[in-house]
Chain A
Amino acid sequence: MVSFYGTPVASRLMLGTAQYPSPKVLSEAFRRSGAGIATVSVRREAAAGEGADFWALVRDLGVRLLPNTAGCHSAREAVTTARMARELFDTDWIKLEVIGHADTLQPDPWGLVEAAAILCAEGFKVFPYTTEDLVLAERLLDAGCEVLMPWGAPIGTGLGLANRYGLRALRAQFPDVPLVVDAGLGRPSQAAEAMEMGYDAVLLNTAVAKAEDPAAMAEGFARAVEAGRLGFEAGAMEPRDMAAPSTPLIGKAFLA
């Protein structure tokens, strides 16, 4: 079973709570996904008590909550958001996002490390949304992070694993660090591929929420994650260029 900061989690699928057509569909998608972790956010309260219904809904999901700092563009902003999220959701887990580029939503490496160091020192269990950059990964681990969450592709694109070489290198470089492909996945096959590469989990939202049938897609991803993980644990054969018959040649009847 995969563990994050010493907490075992039954499922290797982590699911976001945004963009579903209705709260009912959200709940059904979570039920069929089997996800053990749900990402949530904090936003300005426009009217008194407006967050209460959503809070009740996510508590009923029976999963662990992972609040994010989505939309933050500076370390300071992300740290304040994380502190508010810790009180609001009563958890020291935080998905740390410090965005550095508007079009790609690429993390700002400097801001990310700065915020991670502050939050880890305050006792947060930081899940940094990062890139596949090996040096940045090392800096985040030095800051106190015990999990890394590299992007598959930019958030919301559904492009899958845009840099397979980089993701393979990251996995090889940090064999003992829990690694989660976060963002960019659009199809179950892409999640399976990440798991076959040895990633410990995947985190996605849009691919399920924006599917024609979110609940069915949630189950599709759940099965893909399990299939990919089994494929990794089983140890895949090496590919080769030339054909090799699988049926033995010895004993074949001479009929020519």
Chain B
Amino acid sequence: MKIMVNGTPQEVTATTLAEALSALGRDGETVATALNEEFVPVGARAATPIAPGDRIEIVAPRQGG
């Protein structure tokens, strides 16, 4: 199905957020995630279903002021 990942359309085969991250190779330790603008803790990803058109945000530590 087609989902948005960090604002870019992506095609994935997955039923949960955890599966989607794994399929995208983005399941490292230094990421946090949001689904449709709501934070999803790392422990909840496997139980969080995704649907076509969902918007996933994957963020990482970055420099800041």
Contact = CB atoms under 8 A, between A and B. Distances in A.
Interface string B35-65: 0011101100000000000000111111111
Interface string B15-29: 000000000011011
Indicate the size class of the contact surface on chain B: 20 to 34
Contacts of A55: 30, 60-61
B3 interface: no
A17 B57 contact: no
Contacts of A33: none
Contact of A51 (B34, B61, B65): B61
Interface stretch (A80-88, A215-223, A237-245): A80-88
Nearest to A81: B59
Given A76-B37, A80-B38, A43 B62 contact: yes
Contact of B30 (A80, A88, A183): A88
Given A80-B39, A84-B33, A84-B59, A41 B64 contact: yes
Nearest to A15: B65
B1 interface: no
A45 B63 contact: no
A16 B61 contact: no
B6 interface: yes
B61 A89 contact: yes
Contact of A49 (B30, B32, B33, B42): B30
A205 interface: yes
Main secondary structure of the interface of A (DSSP, over half): mixed
Contacts of B39: 80, 83-84, 87
B65 A45 contact: no
Indicate the size class of the contact surface on chain A: 35 or more
B37 A80 contact: yes
A52 B3 CA distance: 25
Given A45-B59, A80-B39, A87 B32 contact: yes
Contacts of B28: 48-49, 52
B61 A42 contact: yes
A217 to B, nearest CB: 15
A27 to B, nearest CB: 12
B1 to A, nearest CB: 21
Contacts of B6: 44-46
Given A39-B64, A41-B62, A41-B63, 9 more contacts: A20-B63, A26-B63, A43-B60, A48-B25, A54-B60, A68-B65, A83-B39, A87-B39, A88-B60
Interface of B: 6-7, 25-26, 28-34, 37-39, 41-42, 57-65
